[in-house]
Amino acid sequence: MEQLLVPTICTVDQLIEETPDVRTYRLKFKDDSLTDSFKWLPGQFVEFSLLGSGECTFCIASSATRKGYFDCSIKRAGIVTADIHNELDEGDEVGIRGPYGNWFPLEELKGKNLLFIGGGIGLAPLRSLIQYAIDTRNEYKDFTILYGARTSADICYKEEIEEWKNNESLKVILTIDKAEEKWKEHVGVVPKILEEKVNPVVENTKVITCGPPIMIKYTLMSLDKLGFAPKDVVTTLEMKMQCGFGKCGRCNIGSTYVCKDGPVFTYEELQKLPDEF
């Protein structure tokens, strides 16, 4: 197994400061010939190592339809992520293993209305799917993105959100938790805006959501109230992982391995898992 744990070297091509504590690292393979063999689908994750500090699990925040690079958005949280923020700069090298895990049910999403609900850094895995869906726009019907952050400064991917807003085939709704000067969009927590302002069509719609546990909890309740069936709600789970391929025994909830059977689950599947959260 030890060979499976050896990472491949990637170079930081671009570093984007998203918010005070979130950075996006745009990565390219140091050995260019590997670029084409690295294939992933939205929802999958990689093991990202800052050599010397350790390894962390991050979802891939960009779509394979944008060729030549992939993004990882990293929030400063623990020892390794703090080291990444402190030490890792453009041109530096990191180790990557992956991609691992399952992906969003792309086939099932075809021909459906898509409703994305994201909170904070939780937009990262959704961004991969959003980019993918934008690049294959004809496959889907209505397209709504509801994104919330604590403050306007905590909004990730600001430039890209502007692009989305200018894209007429998308409907983008932004919200922050508390009112601020100069803020022209909605104010209030995501579940509240979802119920009061979005008025989503329930018929033929798939909901894809990701965010902090507390937001997910209340959003799922709101979706239930609005009449969405649990099988139409898709989310990605966060769980401590080390190996990423079902050996290290860390991420299992019941007999389900989050790293192999997940991280993407429908709400229906989540309800069947033992209540570890």
Partner 1 sequence: MNLTTYITEPAGLQSFYEAIVATNETYAPVEKLGKFDYKQIKTPPECQPDSPIEQTMSIKPLFFPKSARVMKYEATAEGTDVTDTTEDPLAGKRVILGVKHCDARGLQVLDEVYKWDYIDTDYQKRRENTIIISARCEQAATHCFCTSLDYDVEQSDAMDVAVINGLDGKVYIQARTEKGEHFLKENASGLAATNGSALEEMKKQYQAFSGSFRLKMDYKEINGKMQSRFESPAFEEVATNCVSCNTCAFVCPTCHCFKITDERIRDEGVRYKSYDSCNNIYFTLMAGGHNPRPAKYRRWRQRAMHKFVYYKERFGVNLCVGCGKCTISCPVNISIFEVVNQVSNV
Residues in touch with partner 1 (CB under 8 A)? 1-7, 9, 11, 30, 49, 51-56, 75, 77-81, 93, 95, 213, 238-240, 242-243, 245-250, 252, 254-255, 260, 274-277
Q: 191 to each of 3, 52, 235, how far by Cα in Å?
A: 45, 41, 15
What are the structure tokens assigned to 204, written together? 């033929």
Q: 101 to each of 43, 177, 262, 271, how far by Cα in Å?
A: 8, 32, 6, 20
Mention every residue, 6+ apart, whose C-beta is less than 8 A from residue 276: 253, 254
Task: State the nearest-atom distance from the C-beta of 211 to partner 1, in Å.
Answer: 12
What are the structure tokens assigned to 53, written together? 């500090």
Cβ nearer to partner 1, comparing 100 with 132: 100
Q: What is the DSSP string of 184-251?
A: -SEES-HHHHIIIII----TTEEEEEE--HHHHHHHHHHHHHHT--GGGEEEE-----SSSSS-S--S
Cβ nearer to partner 1, comparing 78 with 227: 78
Cβ nearer to partner 1, comparing 101 with 200: 101
CB 205 within 8 A of CB 176: no
User: What stretch of H or E contains 18?
Assistant: strand 8-19
Cβ nearer to partner 1, comparing 90 with 162: 90
Cβ nearer to partner 1, comparing 54 with 105: 54
Task: State the nearest-atom distance from the C-beta of 126 to partner 1, in Å.
Answer: 18
CB 135 within 8 A of CB 68: no
Q: CA angle, 88 as apex, 82 and 91 as ends, to 5°?
A: 170
Cβ nearer to partner 1, comparing 8 with 152: 8
Distance from C-alpha of 2 to C-alpha of 163, rounded to nearest angstrom:
43
Task: State the nearest-atom distance from the C-beta of 275 to partner 1, in Å.
Answer: 7
Task: State the nearest-atom distance from the C-beta of 106 to partner 1, in Å.
Answer: 21
Cβ nearer to partner 1, comparing 200 with 263: 263
